Structure 1
């Protein structure tokens, strides 16, 4: 054999050997993880009172142990089995889903006194493997419970319960930075101001939320990079983007893969789908509405700031002031249901979205934070005003409202009454301009 061919043959064999070694290493790590999970499963059974000599070697054996344990319980006794973080038990080659299907279909489904609660933070796994399962678990779910982020009211109750004293203004600001995620909210130290807490959590090298962005997507998605790409892109487009625009800007196919990715971000509460007023029903926009991601990308990742006092020192800067106004609009957009409730129109069919209009000759236009088009022949024009005190209208604000009313009257089909609404922190001060406003909604 020619020397060159010998080297090629040797290289090929070496790569094959390296691949085998890598596969062996991965298999051994997966095996170690599986054994650790089975040990934890066994420990849970022991803590519940079961005597076990040796840990099971597979999920089939583990679920057989569970059957043995539960079979000894009286049939008149209600049994609740809670499996937390189920997606992370389904490691490669573990056979978890197959074993779980066998457990449920072969025994558990026939136990009228058994309630099984499957829980997991990886929402896409829950949807794909349980809710939309096409195999042995098809149509087996009795009830699903989606745990959405807290609303502002729920955050207020949480902070009160945990002894965190914040006024309404700071509670909304906190929501703008970390959202209504109880895990993040638990890091707020009542001994510090909100600005100090944000510095401590996000603007120090080892802050509890400084590295959370990378960890978050890695914990939710097996291949996190495409998801982070979409999130970073949407962070630059406040009004959101259509799927084809996302595909074009990221040089991706706009087919099923991107659709599935976007759906995963929607069900995981990172992204919200919108159909803008006046646009075609087929024009669906995707907008980033995860507040932690928005704040992190804008101020931490892009700013590259690791100054421990950054947030405290920049409270009055134009960039932070502008951010507050825009972020408050986003907070209101994820509280549309609460705004409807405050308006007393939960029973009225309506469509809600931001809206902007420019006439063909570009001489007339308007941008509305939130427009609610109601079936009772009323259109609510909602203006969002984030203020540290009571909001006070002036001549400029009044002219802006009057212009928007006129544009909507000229644009909306059919005769409808136009109601200007102010959504603000502490209410609206009465003066010569305030009488034009039909309703005032506060965040409290």
Structure 2
């Protein structure tokens, strides 16, 4: 089994093989995240039937695809089914002829099977409820990139599939540590800073990382991914959202609007920027983007829910809107990286990197076991805090994030600004908690008098790899 990271997910999948009864498992996550690969690798010895839905194909083609796939593993002649109930009946006949060991039935891209008035979900429910659940040897796995579809139509369904799922796994992008392990498996050796820089451009998406070649520098890697004539990610955006959402135009309008404001937009600001109607429909769109990992909702401390910011955190989408969309002059990463716009973007991308690795930050600070919430905080015209960890042990870590190429040196002027920021924060939030200023840099900081007068804790980019 050749898998980087995913230790928790592997443990869950393997544990189902030891259960006495049958299991109904849903695996979901965004496009290119490695869902199919994970299921195939862990269940390779038990996978007896696998079929994937066809993108944007009608009922007859979906049914024929299922039947043809079944005939590949079950050689006995069988007529082409006319309904999904008949198709699953043929699958039952095949399963009845197999031995007693655990058998995995894997239906991939599950949302594509469900065409209008096809009866697929009703037949799937019947297959599970009237057949699999009465046995002890079946693991029924459904998988798909349309995370919101699986959540709404299966996991939270109030109809026939209500409470049928016995286990579900949301597969998220690799962490920095998992990205390092994935690259190491490919014999790619990069420094922590280089791995972070690559991550800031493409995120922890296995498909985006799989073609990185040993011996390449970051400029060579990013040119191959973005700027060469056959670059893997040159046209990825046109497929990314369309493959996840049936009506993806509204989702694209939202992420395009969010890409214009680094810190994020409130719900009202999204409505103003996109002309989409506020209401339940917008809530669904935002929840779908959050569930798929493209957007993060950040609640400002000591403010109302209406002040919550929706922030675009998908690395590839941010990179696309900043440097690839309507690109006419950026022909290489080296050319691009010398521009001021790239340096500004790098600081913001580093903030996103830290937001996604709060668990690692807490571990490095020795507070993993303490319940906490993460916020941002802004007082217009006076102060702004990129990330703070509000802890249940009467403490707050106020993080200063500095993406700096070399040792960071605190100046007298910035130390004074930092102390004023803490004062304004305490005064306006009226917090009684201890406030610790935590500096997180790439290579560390010089411990001069200004550092010593301002900083309580110091972390480096290495700590994000824990």
Kept in 1, the 8 Å contact 2:299–2:376? The answer is: no
**1:190–1:43 CA distance, 2 compared to 1 (3 A):** farther
Q: Secondary structure at the match of 2:389?
A: strand
Q: Which residue of 1 aligns with 2:376?
A: 354
Give 1:350 deviation, angstroms. 2.4
Q: Which residue of 2 aligns with 1:26?
A: none
Tell me how far apart the structure 2 counterparts of residues 120 and 417 of structure 1 sit (CA, whole Å). Answer: 45
**Is 1:399 paired with 2:379?**
no
Q: Secondary structure at the match of 1:262?
A: helix
| Deviation readout 1:200-249 (Å, 9 max, x if unpaired) | 22224542211111111111111111110011001112222222221232
Q: Which residue of 2 aligns with 1:25?
A: none
| Deviation readout 1:67-124 (Å, 9 max, x if unpaired) | 00111234x4222212111112223343322221222222222122211111101111
Tell me how far apart the structure 1 counterparts of residues 309 and 450 of structure 2 sit (CA, whole Å). Answer: 35
**1:77–1:401 CA distance, 2 compared to 1 (3 A):** same
Q: Which residue of 2 aligns with 1:310?
A: 332
**1:86–1:30 CA distance, 2 compared to 1 (3 A):** closer
| Deviation readout 1:358-386 (Å, 9 max, x if unpaired) | 5xxx6xx2211212222222221101111
Kept in 2, the 8 Å contact 1:205–1:306? The answer is: no
Q: Which residue of 2 aligns with 1:415?
A: 432
Aligned ranges 1:428-443 → 2 under 5 Å: 428-435=445-452, 436-443=454-461
Kept in 1, the 8 Å contact 2:56–2:112? The answer is: no
Compare CA radii of gyration and give the structure with the larger one. 1
Tell me how far apart the structure 2 counterparts of residues 223 and 353 of structure 1 sit (CA, whole Å). Answer: 31
Tell me how far apart the structure 2 counterparts of residues 220 and 30 of structure 1 sit (CA, whole Å). Answer: 11
Aligned ranges 1:4-403 → 2 under 5 Å: 33-74=58-99, 76-301=100-325, 303-305=326-328, 307=330, 309-358=331-380, 365-403=382-420
**1:414–1:239 CA distance, 2 compared to 1 (3 A):** closer
**1:31–1:389 CA distance, 2 compared to 1 (3 A):** closer
Tell me how far apart the structure 2 counterparts of residues 191 and 346 of structure 1 sit (CA, whole Å). Answer: 36
Structure 2 gap segments, 5+ residues each: 1-53
Tell me how far apart the structure 2 counterparts of residues 346 and 168 of structure 1 sit (CA, whole Å). Answer: 22
Tell me how far apart the structure 1 counterparts of residues 57 and 385 of structure 2 sit (CA, whole Å). Answer: 56
Give 1:147 deviation, angstroms. 0.4
Q: Secondary structure at the match of 2:170?
A: coil
Tell me how far apart the structure 2 counterparts of residues 152 and 30 of structure 1 sit (CA, whole Å). Answer: 32
Give 1:31 deviation, angstroms. 11
Kept in 2, the 8 Å contact 1:30–1:92? The answer is: no
Tell me how far apart the structure 1 counterparts of residues 441 and 259 of structure 2 sit (CA, whole Å). Answer: 24
Give 1:57 deviation, angstroms. 3.9
Kept in 2, the 8 Å contact 1:169–1:388? The answer is: no
Q: Which has the higher contact order (CA 8 A, sep 6+)?
A: 2
**1:306–1:86 CA distance, 2 compared to 1 (3 A):** farther
Tell me how far apart the structure 2 counterparts of residues 251 and 39 of structure 1 sit (CA, whole Å). Answer: 42
Give 1:54 deviation, angstroms. 4.4
Tell me how far apart the structure 2 counterparts of residues 205 and 260 of structure 1 sit (CA, whole Å). Answer: 37
Give 1:35 deviation, angstroms. 4.6
Kept in 2, the 8 Å contact 1:178–1:292? The answer is: yes
Give 1:32 deviation, angstroms. 6.9
Give 1:337 deviation, angstroms. 2.3
Q: Secondary structure at the match of 2:362?
A: helix
